[in-house]
């Protein structure tokens, strides 16, 4: 269980998050929605420990981790695919995977973990010795996802995994995410601007606007709209 209680993130005078609370249970996907600058990335960064949290708590299975530095949180099972296709671009595909595995939970041997990744995304095996920065956008996103799953996380944070990708690739990526969430039974949180896309696969969703929660509920509900409050309206 991942829980946020009254979480606030400020960058100097900029209030990126103000008193946001959330409960995400394992075995389902939570969608964090909102326009540019709504605070989606700040929420994820607060969980992985790289945002300036000024108030509130982040609890993993009841344990408040707000005082822990990012590597300690990672060891507790937080895996964060940051926005902007963050990879070690000069390192090869396999080096990226090996590094992620080395500092992960290491539940399986490296060879077995790599084989699993390559079975899922064969193109990554073909490109194993290529610098990650030279991959196409879709391939980079596959690698980023694989770098998080190869760590055997318990709390998976995915920041706009569909950004800048062709629809067919988005399908593939989302297919992978839903499969993985169902199979692993962990907590998965996805930040997206494409609300419909994320809500279709999510158990619950939350809409942020200027750092505050303006709408929250079950995925289905948010998708269809409720009490005259349509999802689209809360964006404006």
Partner 1 sequence: MDDFFFSLLLAGISVGAVYALIALGLNLTFWTTKTLNFGQGSLMMLCAMLTVIIFSQGLAITLAVVGSLVVVAALGMFIERWTVRPALKSSGGSMGWVVSTLGFGIFLQGMAAKYFGSQAVAFPDVVFTAQDFVTVFGQYISLQYLVVLAVAVALILAFELFIRRTVWGQAVHAVSLDPELALVQGIPVRRLILGSFMLSSVLAGVAGVLIAQIGGTVDPAFGFDLVLLGFVAAVLGGMGSSLGALAGGLLVGVISKLVGGYVSTAAEHGIAFALLMLALAVRPQGLFGRPEVSKA
Is the separation of the CB atoms in 67 and 26 below 8 Å? no
Size of interface with Mg ion, in residues (CB under 5 A): 3
Q: Does 41 bind Mg ion (CB under 5 A)?
A: yes
Near ligand ATP in 91-120, by CB under 6 A? none
Candidates 14, 87, 17; CA nearest to 47 is 17
The distance of closest approach from Cβ of residue 102 to ligand ATP in the complex, given in angstroms and rounded to an integer, is: 28
CB of 118 to ligand ATP, least distance (A): 31
Q: Which does 38 bind (CB under 5 to 8 A by kind): partner 1, ligand ATP, Mg ion, none?
A: ligand ATP
Stretch that binds Mg ion, among 33-41, 72-80, 92-100, 163-171 (CB under 5 A): 33-41
Could you give the dihedral angle defined by the CA atoms of residues 180, 215, 209 and 69, in that order, rounded to the nearest 10 degrees?
Answer: -50
Task: Show contacts with partner 1 in window 45-104 (CB under 8 A).
Answer: 48-50, 69-71, 74-75, 78-80, 82, 86-91, 95, 98-100, 102-104
Report d(CA 183, CA 58) in Å as an integer.
25
Binding marks (x or -) toward ligand ATP, 18..37, rule CB under 6 A? ----------------x-xx
CA distance 85 to 141: 7
C-alpha span between 43 and 216 (Å, rounded): 15
Q: Find the shortest distance in angstroms from Cβ 58 to partner 1.
A: 14
Helices 110-120 and 93-102: crossing angle in degrees, nearest 10, is 130
Tell me whether residue 99 or residue 123 sits nearer to partner 1 (CB atom): 99
Pull the structure tokens for residue 89: 């671009």
- Comparing CB distances to Mg ion, the nearer of 98 and 212 is 212
Q: What is the dihedral of CA 123, 188, 19, 222, to 10 degrees?
A: 100
Interface with ligand ATP: number of residues (CB under 6 A): 13
* Strand runs labelled E in 39-90: 53-60, 63-64, 78-81
62: tokens are 């009841």
Identify which of residues 36 and 63 has a Cβ nearer to ligand ATP in the complex: 36
Q: Is 134 in the site for partner 1 (CB under 8 A)?
A: yes
Q: Rule CB under 6 A: say whether 225 interacts with ligand ATP.
A: no
Q: Does 72 bind ligand ATP (CB under 6 A)?
A: no
The CA distance from 63 to 2, in Å, is 9
By CB under 6 A, name the binding residues for ligand ATP.
11, 14, 16, 34, 36-42, 83, 193
């Amino acid at each position: 269980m991942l829980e946020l209680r009254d979480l606030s993130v400020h960058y100097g005078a900029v209030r990126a998050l103000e008193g946001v609370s959330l409960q995400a249970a394992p075995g389902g996907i939570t969608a964090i929605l909102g326009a540019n600058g709504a605070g989606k990335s700040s929420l994820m960064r607060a969980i992985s420990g790289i945002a300036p949290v000024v108030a509130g708590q982040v609890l993993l299975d009841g344990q408040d981790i707000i005082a822990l530095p990012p590597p300690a949180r990672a060891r507790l099972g937080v895996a964060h695919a940051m926005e902007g296709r963050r990879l070690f671009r000069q390192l090869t595909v396999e080096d990226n995977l090996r590094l992620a595995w080395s500092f992960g939970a290491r539940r399986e041997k490296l060879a077995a973990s790599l084989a699993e990744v390559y079975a899922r995304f064969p193109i990554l095996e073909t490109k194993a010795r290529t610098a990650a920065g030279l991959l196409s956008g879709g391939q980079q996103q596959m690698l980023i996802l694989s770098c998080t799953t190869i760590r055997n996380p318990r709390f998976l944070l995915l920041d706009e995994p569909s950004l800048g990708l062709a629809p067919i690739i988005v399908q593939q990526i989302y297919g992978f995410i839903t499969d993985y969430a169902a199979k692993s039974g962990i907590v998965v949180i996805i930040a997206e601007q494409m609300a419909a896309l994320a809500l279709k696969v999510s158990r619950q969703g939350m809409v942020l606007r200027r750092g505050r929660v303006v709408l929250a509920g079950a995925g289905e509900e948010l998708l269809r709209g409720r009490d005259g409050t349509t999802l689209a309206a809360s964006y404006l």
